Amino acid sequence: MATVFVLSASIYSLLPRIKISPSPPPVLLRTIPQCRAFVKAIKTDSSNATIGLVPTMGCLHKGHLSLVHQSKLTNNITIASIFVNPSQFSPDEDLASYPATFERDVDQLTAAGCDAVFCPSAADVYQKSSICTVDPVGFNLNLKEGESRPHFFKGVATVVAKLFNIVHPDRAYFGQKDAAQTILISRMTADLNFDVEIVISPTVREPSGLAMSSRNEYLSLEDRQTAALIYEALSFGRDYCRKKLDVDVVLQSCDIIGAVEKVLSTNRLLEVKYISVDSGATMKSVDSVTADSKFVISAAVIFAGVRLIDNVVCDFSVASKSQ
């Protein structure tokens, strides 16, 4: 039987809250000690209480909120983190201009029923004396997203490990849009023996098909319609694979990439950084696939000065069809 956990008033009085709103707002956790005190109080009130963590960099959209809703279904307490992680940006990327919509984010989390928001400063998370990081050695090898952003996954692994050590969640929630990131976090969790269940949810899309992303904030409504061609191209690639693998035993990745590229090339404003056919288990590029393969077709595209990524999962096995 599910445990019913009721927060005591003492937990909510520990920390400052944001402005009054019709729904009870989440507790605002601005420092690591505040977050640890909040978690300790929860566990003291009920050792059986479970905590779900939704890590974000802010500028929230329906994809993030779907993770919050999923966490609330399976945990007593849901904590969303809002932290723009500097270690996953290279010097030429958009750290300084990354969309910041904190008040709007908290309003959305309030409406979603999120219990707490962990929003530390970079100085709190990365102290000047720090010398240790989490480096996923070899992860970038034969991984298109890793080759495109060689700094990125070390920064992601380090910050997620920090979040796990600070929050001590029972479950953590991530979206399939960042497919390679989900593989990395699952692997890191296993390799470093974190007692955290990783939950991956399907990509949430705008009506046009464009994958929801915080960076969509940079795009006009017209640009978003144009950028939807990315998903259209990937979906075409998946349909191409489904038809071909009904006939052919093996399908070469170069042919799949060519099918996707053909659709993307219909708009010259889209600058393709890569199209890749990847193992569903590792996100490493593969040369060919079969009907029994679980694989991912992924792409990174620059449009209107914005780097957009997306992917579709392909699983045409008999077991998958029977589910």
Please tell me what DSSP assigns to residue 75: -
Three-state SS for 276?
Answer: strand
How far, in whole angstroms, is CA 317 from its chain's centroid? 26
Token pair recorded at residue 299: 């792409």
Helix 152-167 / helix 32-45 crossing angle, nearest 10 deg: 40
Among residues 64, 69, 151, 168, the one annotated as catalytic is: 64
* 316 touches 242 (CB < 8 A): yes
CA dist., res. 7 & res. 162, Å (int)? 25
* 38 touches 27 (CB < 8 A): yes
Token pair recorded at residue 308: 């957009």
Nearest CA to 43 out of 16, 5, 1 is that of: 5
Token pair recorded at residue 288: 């060919």
Beta-strand ranges (E) seen in 109-267 are: 116-118, 171-175, 197-201, 250-252
Question: In sequence order, what are the residues at sequence separation of 6 or more whose Cβ sits closer than 8 angstroms to the Cβ of residue 268?
Answer: none
CA dist., res. 150 & res. 89, Å (int)? 10
69 included as an active-site residue: no
Residue recorded with tokens 């070390």 = 154
Q: Which residues are catalytic?
A: 64
